[in-house]
A and B are shown apart, each in its own frame.
Chain A
Amino acid sequence: MNPMEKLLNELKVKIVEILNLIDVHPDDIKEDAQLVGGDLEIDSIDVLELVIMIEKDYGIKIDNRDLGVKIFATLGTLAGYIHENAVELSN
C-alpha cells in the first residue's frame, strides 16, 4: 500500500469515528465523491471537527474559509492537502 492509499484509508476510519457515522462503513466513503453536503450529510460543524483532527494528528491548521472549501471538496482533495503539508503523519 502506497503512502497515499494508507492516508486515504486512515482518513476514512477517522471520519466515520469522529463524526459518529454509525451507519457508514469506511469503505463507503469514495475518494472523488462530494464530501460536504453529499450523501454522508457532512455539514459545516463536522468540517470544524475534522479541522481539529487534522491539526491534532497532522499538524496542519486550516482557518481560512475559502481554502477550507477547496480542501474539503472530496476525500481525495483532503488527503492530497494533508499529504503535501503534513508536519508528521500520525500512526
Chain B
Amino acid sequence: MTDVQNYICGMGIISSLGHGITQTKYALQKGWSGIGPLTLFSTVANPPLPVGEIPGSIDSGSLPRTHQLALLAAEQAIVKCEQSPDAVVMGITTGGILTTEMHLQKKAYDPELYRYHAVGSVAEEIARRYRCTGPVITVSTACSSGTVAIKIAIEMLRAGLFKRVLAGGADSLCRLTYYGFNSLQLIDPEGARPLDENRRGMSVAEGAAMLLLAADQPDNAVAEVLGAGLSCDAHHSVTPHPQGKGALTAMQAAIKDAGVSISAIDYINLHGTGTPDNDLSEAHAINTLFPGQKPLLSSVKGAFGHSLAASGAIEAVVSAISVSSHLVPANTGCRIPDPDLKLEPVMQPANVPVDCVLSNSFGFGGNNAAVIIGALDKFDCSISTTKIESLAILGCACVTGAGTTEATMANLSKGAACKGIFSVQEISKNLSPRAVRRLKRLPRMALSLALAAYESSSRKENPSSVFLGTGWGALSETYDFLTGLFETDERFPSPTDFVASVHNAPGGQIALKFRSTGPNITTSGGDYSFEQALLSAHLLSRDINESFFVMGVDESHAVVSHLFDKSVVADDILSDGGGSFCLTRTHDLSELHIKLAFYENTENNHGVISSLIGQLGGPERINASYGILMVGIPGGDRREGEKQLRTFLSLSGFKNPLIDYRKLIGEFASASAVAAVMATKFIGDGKIPTLFCNNRSFRLDGKGALVLGLGKFITAVEVLRR
C-alpha cells in the first residue's frame, strides 16, 4: 500500500466567460457576466432568453458542439503532460443532442448523422485523441455530473489503479435543455440572479472544463483535490429537499473524505442556480453546517450561467484558481441578497487568502455532489491505496424479450431465444400504478429490475445506493419531448418528458422507491455502460456498509434505436432489457461474488488481449476458474469482436463452454448485465444447460463464469463462487 494524493496538474476551460484559464481568471477578477440573449439557434415562438453562450465561433469539423468544447478544454489541460492519461472520466448530460435535434427536426433518418449522439462518445473521442488505453467512464447524473466525475477520478487514483486521470464535464446549449428548463418555468427572464430576493430562475449555459489529476506530485501542480462526497435526496425527481438534507449530507461526506475540519473551509462555491427552491434549500444546508461564522461564499452561475454537466468541472477549476491565485469570485447578478436565505454572498470579487474551497453541485433526481479543493501542500489528505475487491451478490434479476428472470432462464434451458420486447404492462406488474403513472419504458424496467433483485436477496434493509448503466438513456422521453417541441412550434414541450429525459431519472426513481440516500450514479458508455456502473460501484462503495444496486438497462425505441445504435441495425429483431444486482461489500453474506476484472480501450492498444489474459492470472487460472465464458460481441463490431475472441481463445487455451449471448437475447447496450445475471444463475445451479455443452451434461464444480465484453473496449466481469 502506498499513500496517494490527488494533484491537479493541468486545467482547461471554455465557457461564456472565455477560453482558457487566463481569460476566465480575468473575467472573474472583473466580476463580468457572460450571460446574454441566445444566438446559437433561432427561436420561433418567443424572443431568445438569456443564456451563457460561448462567444465567437468554435466550429472546426464535423463533431457535435459538446465534443468540440470538451476537446478544447482537454487540450489545455493536457498540454504540459507528455504522457497519455491512464483513464478518462467525463460528466455529460446531452452528448451530441444539438446535432441530433437538428436532424430529427428535418426527419433525416441516416444513422451516420447520429454517429456521435451518445453521451459516452465525448469521453471516447477524448480517449482516442490522447491515446488513453485505460477505462473511459461517462457519468450522467444531470447537473452534478462534472463533480461526480471528479470524485470517481480521485477514487481511481486512490485505488492505485492509475497515475493520471483526465476528468471533467461538458455540455453545449441545445433545444432540449433550453426549452426543457423553460417548460419547468425555471428560467429567469432577466438572467440568473443567484441568492437575490427577486430571483426567478437560472440561465442555461454551455461550456467544458477538464482537470488532469495525478497521484504523484508533478512540477506543474496547481492545487489538490482533497476529497469529495455524494448523496441522494430520495425526495423528488426535480425539487430539492426543502431543508437541504441531501446537500448537507454531501457536504459533510466531502469534508470527512478530505480529512479537513469544517473551520478549514475558507470559501464555498455554491451550486446557487438562482432558482427559488435551489437557493433556499442550499442555504438551509449551509446554515445547518455552519451555525456560527460562515466561510466566504458566492455562486458563479450569474457569471457563467448554468452549464449543467460542465458546471461542476468549471467550478472545480474556479476553486483551483481561487486557492492558487487567492481570488474569491463575486456572486454576480445578485443585487439585494434574499434575507430569507440568511447568507451574505461576496458581492464584489475579492483578493484574499484562500486555502480551502468547498464546491457544490446538485442535480435532478436529488443527485448531490460536493468537492473540496485545497492549496498545494497545505493539507495532509493522503490516503492509503485500497485495492478493488469483489462484491458479494445478495440477489439478481433480469428482463429480456422472453420476460422476467424465470421466463428468461426457462427459455435458455430449452434453447429458445430471448429476443424481442417484453410488454410494458407485464414489466409494470410488480409496481404500484400510482407510483409509475408518469414513467415510460426505461424507468419502469429499472424500477422493476431493482425490486426483483431486492426481493430475490431476501434482505430486509433497503439498498442505500444505486449504480446504473444505460447505453442510451430514456429514449422515449427524449424523443417525445423533442417531437412535442417541434410539432407545437416550440410552444408546448412536455415538462414531464423533460424531467424524465435525463439519463439518471431511472436511478432517481429507484432512490425514491427504496429511500436510498447514498451515492446515485448513472453511467453511460454504449455497450460498456453496465461495466462502467460496476467499476463505479467498486470505486465508490468504500464507505457503504449497506447493500446497493448495480444494474444495466436499456429500452429500444421504434424510431431512434436504429439511428443511434449501429448494433441494433445488425439484428432483424428489436430487443431490450436489463440485469440488476443487489450487492454488498460484506463478503460472508454470499458465496457468489462479482468483480470487474478488466476494462481497457482497444484503440491504440495492440496487446490488449495479452494484457487481459495476464490480468486474469494467465491461461491456467482462466481454465481453472471459469467454467463458462459469456461472450458479448456487439453486432456493429461483430467482425472485430470475433477476431478478438479467436485471439483470446488461442492465447488462453480456453476449453470450457462458451455462450455468444447477444445471439440469444438480442442487440441492446446493456445486454452484458443480462449475461452477468445468467452467469450468476448458472453458477448458483452449479450447471449449464446441456444445449450449450454439445448436449452433454456439464457441471461447474465450483467454477465461475467470465462475462467478456468485446468490440471497442475489452471488459471482463468475473462471477465466482468463493
Q: Which residues of A contact B (CB under 8 A)?
A: 19-23, 41, 43-46, 48-49, 51-52, 55-56, 63, 65
B276 to A, closest residue via Cβ: A65
A52 to B, closest residue via Cβ: B492
User: Could you show 18 A-B contacts with beta carbons less than 8 Å apart?
Assistant: A19-B438, A20-B438, A21-B437, A22-B433, A23-B434, A41-B434, A43-B236, A43-B239, A44-B239, A45-B237, A45-B499, A48-B185, A52-B183, A52-B492, A52-B495, A56-B492, A65-B185, A65-B276
B492 to A, closest residue via Cβ: A52
B276: which A residues are within 8 A, CB to CB? 65
CB B234 to nearest CB in A, in angstroms, measures 15
Chain B binding site: helix, strand, loop or mixed by DSSP?
Answer: loop
- Determine whether the beta carbon of B437 is less than 8 Å from that of A49: no
- What's the Cα separation between A43 and B242 when bound, in Å? 14
- Determine whether the beta carbon of A52 is less than 8 Å from that of B437: no
The range of chain B's interface size is 10 to 19
**A-B contact number at CB 8 A:** 41
- What's the Cα separation between A45 and B438 when bound, in Å? 10
Chain A binding site: helix, strand, loop or mixed by DSSP?
Answer: helix
Is residue B238 within 8 Å, beta carbon to beta carbon, of the partner chain? yes
Which residue of B236, B433, B496 is within 8 Å of A49 (Cβ)? B496
User: Which residue, B184, B494, B495, has most C-beta atoms of chain A within 10 A?
Assistant: B495
- What's the Cα separation between A61 and B496 when bound, in Å? 18
- Determine whether the beta carbon of B437 is less than 8 Å from that of A22: yes
- What's the Cα separation between A43 and B185 when bound, in Å? 14
- What's the Cα separation between A41 and B438 when bound, in Å? 12
A22 to B, closest residue via Cβ: B433
Which residue of A21, A56, A63 is within 8 Å of B185 (Cβ)? A63
User: Do A45 and B492 form a contact, CB below 8 Å, given A20-B437, A21-B437, A22-B433?
Assistant: no
A68 to B, closest residue via Cβ: B185
B434: which A residues are within 8 A, CB to CB? 21, 23, 41
Q: Which residues of B contact A (CB under 8 A)?
A: 183-185, 236-239, 276, 433-434, 437-438, 492, 494-496, 499
A19: which B residues are within 8 A, CB to CB? 437-438
- What's the Cα separation between A52 and B492 when bound, in Å? 6
- Determine whether the beta carbon of B438 is less than 8 Å from that of A52: no
CB A40 to nearest CB in B, in angstroms, measures 9
Which residue of A22, A45, A55 is within 8 Å of B495 (Cβ)? A45
Which residue of B185, B438, B492 is within 8 Å of A55 (Cβ)? B492
CB A15 to nearest CB in B, in angstroms, measures 12
B496: which A residues are within 8 A, CB to CB? 45-46, 48-49
B184: which A residues are within 8 A, CB to CB? 45, 48
CB A66 to nearest CB in B, in angstroms, measures 10
Sample of 5 more A-B contacts, CB < 8 Å, known A45-B438, A46-B496? A19-B438, A21-B437, A45-B238, A45-B495, A48-B495
CB B494 to nearest CB in A, in angstroms, measures 7
- What's the Cα separation between A57 and B97 when bound, in Å? 31
- What's the Cα separation between A38 and B345 when bound, in Å? 37
